[in-house]
Amino acid sequence: MAQPVQGIRQIKECIEVNAPAQTCYQYWVNQSQFPEFMSKVLRHEARWVPRMTLQSYDCIQSALERFEAFALPLERIKHWLISGPGGKLYEFENKVILDIPGQFYATASTDPDDLCAQASLLFHETENPGVTRVELEVSFWESANIKNGKSTQLASDILRKEDPFLGDCLRDFKTYVEKMGGASNSSPLTEPPLSPA
């Protein structure tokens, strides 16, 4: 009898981009442009939401009524519509959990059904000047005994079907950065800050 699938799974892909690490990082964090050049990303939206875990709803509502939105603890939530393995659509949200400019960028799912669904990128300059190794790693907890969230479902399908999803995304990214003149443009625009709404 087959054992139920459960435990931490990881998927890793890497690519070398002809651009400095800081440039690669800046193009990556400007995710609002992903649908323009990344074939798997159909839609990306971002919004600010109150960090409800830090204050009660009544406190937040009271502050809003007094026009003190600037005092609220906020975080940016990113909403994605992705074309995954076999053209299946996946819609999910995540947030940044660690950001080291020019070096490291990590996100995690906001879906409570995703027990552990994280993606991280490491930007490492190689021995060749102006060439950066971009390493993308997705970690998730897969279980046959509980309901899995949307991010976990996407990652599980990529792994199970041996789909080139991550590699395709990195190749699109490399093509875009190099086309935009990544090696000569060391300071592309970063994603503009959102006004709390």
Q: What is the pLDDT of residue 186?
A: 43
Q: What is the pLDDT of residue 32?
A: 93
- The reply to whether the predicted model has a pTM over 0.75 is yes
Q: In whole angstroms, what is the distance from residue 170 CA to residue 179 CA?
A: 14
Q: What is the pLDDT of residue 182?
A: 63
Question: Which of 1.10.472.10, 2.60.200.30, 3.40.50.300, 3.30.530.20 would CATH assign to domain 6-46+78-179?
Answer: 3.30.530.20
Q: What is the pLDDT of residue 50?
A: 72
Q: pLDDT tens digits, residue range 94-137?
A: 999 999 999 999 999 999 999 899 999 999 999 999 999 999 99
Q: What is the pLDDT of residue 2?
A: 45
Q: Which residues of the chain have pLDDT under 70?
A: 1-5, 51-73, 182-197
Q: What is the pLDDT of residue 54?
A: 47
Q: What is the pLDDT of residue 196?
A: 45
DSSP for the chain, written as a single string: -PPPPEEEEEEEEEEEESS-HHHHHHHHH-GGGHHHH-TTEEEEEEEEEE-TTTS-HHHHHHHHHTT-GGGS-EEEEEEEEEE-GGG-EEEEEEEEEEEETTTEEEEEE--TT-SSEEEEEEEEE-SSTT-EEEEEEEEEEEESSS---HHHHHHHHHHHTT--HHHHHHHHHHHHHHHTTTTT-S-PPPPPPPPP-
Domain parsing of the chain, residue ranges: 6-46+78-179
Q: What is the pLDDT of residue 131?
A: 97
